[in-house]
């Protein structure tokens, strides 16, 4: 069982971040579970903004798994090229769509156990889809999430799965998806990897890493990003 004081502190942080970022949510544009699955795969090693820039053309040409499974490789590569690693990503999308058609009748499954069997889909991607497309709570342990929970002293784990399990123990299941959004938004806007804006941080009082970045409010304020897609 986690320490009671740690649980209380962690939940105070989440409540404060919820107040700070009332509009927090998935920053990838999508309208269906299939679209979310695809854009999450494309978001690896690039920005949400770049993915959102190519997704309208991609889904106009390939609106579902059946269409994408039969898609033209060169055409898909040309569309997703701005996201980087476009050949590898195209290969992943083709295999993913084919697996959906062959094993799930072209539909995205709503179970973690099924999602992680798909090519290119790990727990992080599966939890993004479950939480945001199906309303099934899950923790999205990306680089921002992992960095912040360690800075906040919630866990020392560096392995994503062990991190996920450690944080699950601190929060009720219903909070997991929004907790992920709160931490990711904060990581993109304030708690940066190299120079966190400590002097402008709304949860500084509960952070054992306070001081890793500038504590002067004016200096810190200049580091704050107003939006996180860039």
Catalytic residues: 124, 142
Count Cα atoms within 13 angstroms, Cβ side, for 136: 13
- Cβ 187 vs Cβ 225: under 8 Å: no
Residue 96: closest CA among 114, 69, 75, 78 = 69
- Cβ 14 vs Cβ 179: under 8 Å: yes
- Cβ 138 vs Cβ 112: under 8 Å: yes
Q: Which residues, 6+ apart, have CB-to-CB distance to 2 below 8 Å?
A: 166, 169, 170
Residue 186: closest CA among 9, 12, 4, 21 = 21
Count of positions (residues) in the chain: 230
Buried b (16+ CB within 10 A) or exposed e, 64-92: bbbebbebeeeebeebbeebeebeebbbb
């Amino acid at each position: 069982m986690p320490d009671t004081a740690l649980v209380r502190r962690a939940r105070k942080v989440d409540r404060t971040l919820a107040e700070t970022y009332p509009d927090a949510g998935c920053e990838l544009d999508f309208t269906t579970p299939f679209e979310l699955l695809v854009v999450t795969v494309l978001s690896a090693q690039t920005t949400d903004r770049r993915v959102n820039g190519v997704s309208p053309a991609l889904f106009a040409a390939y609106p579902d798994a059946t269409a994408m499974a039969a898609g033209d490789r060169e055409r898909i590569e040309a569309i997703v090229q701005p996201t980087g690693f476009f050949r590898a990503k195209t290969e992943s999308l083709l295999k993913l769509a084919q697996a959906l058609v062959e094993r799930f009748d072209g539909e995205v499954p709503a179970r973690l156990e099924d999602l992680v069997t798909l090519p290119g889909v790990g727990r992080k991607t599966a939890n993004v889809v479950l939480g945001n497309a199906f309303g099934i709570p899950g923790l999205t342990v990306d680089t921002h999430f992992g960095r912040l929970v360690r800075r906040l002293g919630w866990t020392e784990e560096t392995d994503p799965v062990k991190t996920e399990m450690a944080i699950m123990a601190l929060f009720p299941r219903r909070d997991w998806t929004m907790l992920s959004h709160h931490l990711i938004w904060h990581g993109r806007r304030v708690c940066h990897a190299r120079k966190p804006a400590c002097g402008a941080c709304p949860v500084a009082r509960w952070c054992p890493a306070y001081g890793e970045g500038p504590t002067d409010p004016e200096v810190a304020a200049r580091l704050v990003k107003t939006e996180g897609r860039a």
